[in-house]
Structure 1
Amino acid sequence: MQAWRVHRNGEPGEVMSLEDTGRPEPGEGQVLLRVRAANVNFPDALLCRGQYQMTPPLPFTPGVELCGETEDGRRVIATPALPYGGFAEYAVADVAAVLPAPDSLDDAEAAALHIGYQTGWFGLHRRAHLQEGETLLVHAASGGVGSAAVQLGKAAGARVIGVVGGPEKTAVARGIGCDLVIDRYADDIVAAVKDATGGRGADVVYDPVGGDAYVKSAKCVAFEGRIVVVGFASGSIPSPALNHALVKNYSIVGLHWGLYGRQDPRAVLRCHETLTGLAAKGLIKPVVSDLVPLESAAEAVQRVADGTTTGRLVVLPGGAEV
């Protein structure tokens, strides 16, 4: 089979190589999956760089999220068990990490449902307790993670303000339902949020960016607001001023979704059932901006790493048979 492999750490476009290799052998408690579609995530770039929370042994195949098919013909979604990731014709996953793919979504959409929407749901509901009628501020609202949070916020009855960079991303954010879109290149984020909320600020801030985005968030979060720290796509990890959180009476809430798989796996299953129901009603649908062949996977990961994309890039391996 063909698989992308990383033999040394560095930029995805430089260290990912497409190779012919044997099918991976699933271990105890694992299953072999034929990859139907594999979503590109920012963690794939971090894995290539050696900067992710976990460091699989070299060489490994990136691709942390996929829609696949089991040997008995079931269509599923899964987070593969590295080093046998999704940018290949076949991958391996722990049985416990395999979930039924929603019938309402095609392969590419299903491949992009799991991580981004689970992260969004846990962040907004379990950690921030978003309420109907509240104002939600989403950074990088046109991206894969941000667009999921926008859709989930709208499904919860929140007013959603999206922050993006540039006219193209502004159009995408409007198209997925943002009530207000702020272009960080042209607008004053703090002033725009306060103006839109009558000076109150955002009740919940969803921040997968970090850096300056977090700094601006702290200046426009509402009384008893919650800032959900999801990641640091900017590459800059902020140092919160805790005295500021004290005097303004807001919460800084961390979210590491991967911990739920180990600490509370039933919650992940319940969330999947909720997301499946929302997808069936048309309330959420992954924004797939581009489908790419397996041969272009390294380029796709680099594009996500460079922050030039909107929505999701999905790799379609094709050709594999169980």
Structure 2
Amino acid sequence: MKAIVCEEFGLPSTLQYKEVASLKPKKDEVLVRVSACSVNFPDTLIIQGLYQFKPTLPFIPGSDIAGVVKEVGENVTAFKVGDAVFGFAMNGGFAEEVIVQSNAIFPKPENMDFPIAASFLMAYGTSYHALKDRAKLQKGETLVVLGASGGVGLAAVQLGKLMGAKVIAAASTDEKLALCKHYGADLTINYEKEDLKKRIKELTDGKGADVIYDPVGGHNTEQALRATAWEGRLLVVGFAAGTIPKIPLNLTLLKGCQIMGIFWGSFAMQFPKKNYQNTMELMQWFSQGKLKPHIHQIFPLKETAKALEEMMQRKVKGKIVIQNQ
């Protein structure tokens, strides 16, 4: 089969598009013929050896997959050959086939095409876990989403609105913010032109934000934390800005606030029943037309490096998808 292989840590240009050995599922695994795999910002870090974990070289990156079951392990009863599925793999998605744990995939609805399915689970799973399980976002609270035009950011905007929050989207361009408004943001902040802390306070009548959703990191994290309300919650989702902020912990004392780490992949593996419940709730909203990923662009498998470069250059609004022909 064809695959994108990372043989050494480095930039996307170092990845190899090549023939690799076919795969065989173990007893609790499923072999999926990949139709689509979306690109997530952690993919750009994993190939550089900059993520929380480093896969053993060589490896095939890519996690957010959708496709058709090709073979099942001997213990698998929930799926059969020919089933259309979507799900999450630790790696291996940028290929024609991938091995997935049977408890990490779900039946694909007929009204969800493969690119949409591949764009759904990680973005919406992360954001829903963050807002529901960690922040316990309440109706009427104010949610500020940093990096709001990205895949997880737009998911957080949509989910925040569905959960009854007032949503303030923050991003780096007016074009990105227009997209956020289209997906339900009540108010917007261009943090390249405006003072983030000052604008959050102004838009909340001096109270501050109840919840900050932060997949960006960098210098804006502290400014957002300084603009939280009493007992606010800062959700640490990722570091797309490339730098991990160092936070003065006296701010948590002064505001009675919390800083919460969000690692959806680990949550999904450790608590599969909770993750299944969350996923079913998300799928119900999708079936009702209340959730839909925004597809920025679709690339063929052999152009995966170009797709990753687009992500690193912060040109992407919503999701980029790799699709097998």
Question: TM-score, normalising length from structure 2?
Answer: 0.94
**What residue number does 1:4 align with?**
4
| Residues 15, 48 of structure 1: 8 Å contact kept | no
Structure 1 SS opposite 2:37: strand
**What residue number does 1:305 align with?**
312
Q: Distance in 2 between matches of 1:219 and 1:81?
A: 35
1:74 to 83, 90, 97: 83
Structure 1 segment 149-168 matched on structure 2, within 5 A: 149-168=156-175
Letter in structure 1 aligned against 2:123: G
Is residue 256 of structure 2 the alignment partner of residue 249 of structure 1?
yes
Q: Distance in 2 between matches of 1:261 and 1:145?
A: 16
Is residue 19 of structure 2 the alignment partner of residue 20 of structure 1?
yes
Letter in structure 2 aligned against 1:77: F
Structure 2 SS opposite 1:70: strand
Letter in structure 1 aligned against 2:86: I
Q: Distance in 1 between matches of 2:82 and 2:151?
A: 29
Shift of the 95–244 alpha-carbon distance from structure 1 to 2, 3 Å rule, reads same
Is residue 93 of structure 2 the alignment partner of residue 86 of structure 1?
yes
**What residue number does 1:34 align with?**
33
Structure 2 SS opposite 1:51: coil
Structure 2 SS opposite 1:224: strand
**What residue number does 1:176 align with?**
183
Q: Distance in 2 between matches of 1:196 and 1:276?
A: 32
**What residue number does 1:223 align with?**
230
Shift of the 81–123 alpha-carbon distance from structure 1 to 2, 3 Å rule, reads closer
| Residues 232, 255 of structure 2: 8 Å contact kept | no
Q: Deviations over 1:76-122 (max 9, x none)?
A: 1122253xx11111111111212112334211111011111111011
Is residue 72 of structure 2 the alignment partner of residue 63 of structure 1?
no
Shift of the 165–152 alpha-carbon distance from structure 1 to 2, 3 Å rule, reads same
**What residue number does 2:112 align with?**
105
2:197 to 190, 199, 206: 190
Structure 1 SS opposite 2:98: strand
| Residues 5, 59 of structure 1: 8 Å contact kept | yes
| Residues 215, 239 of structure 2: 8 Å contact kept | yes
1:277 to 276, 280, 284: 284
Q: Distance in 1 between matches of 2:321 and 2:291?
A: 17
Deviates more, 1:87-96 or 1:120-129: 87-96
Is residue 144 of structure 2 the alignment partner of residue 145 of structure 1?
no
Q: Distance in 1 between matches of 2:43 and 2:212?
A: 25
Identity %: 38
Note the C-alpha offset of 1:187: 1.4
| Residues 226, 251 of structure 2: 8 Å contact kept | no
| Residues 31, 97 of structure 2: 8 Å contact kept | yes
| Residues 67, 76 of structure 1: 8 Å contact kept | yes
Q: Which runs of 5+ in 1 are unaligned?
A: none
| Residues 4, 15 of structure 2: 8 Å contact kept | yes
**What residue number does 2:42 align with?**
43
Q: Distance in 2 between matches of 1:132 and 1:220?
A: 20
| Residues 32, 92 of structure 1: 8 Å contact kept | yes
2:208 to 188, 201, 208: 201
1:213 to 206, 216, 220: 220
Is residue 240 of structure 2 the alignment partner of residue 240 of structure 1?
no
Q: Deviations over 1:279-299 (max 9, x none)?
A: 011111111111111121111
Structure 1 segment 116-155 matched on structure 2, within 5 A: 116-155=123-162
Structure 1 SS opposite 2:201: helix
Q: Distance in 2 between matches of 1:259 and 1:94?
A: 14
Note the C-alpha offset of 1:138: 0.1
Q: Distance in 2 between matches of 1:118 and 1:155?
A: 15
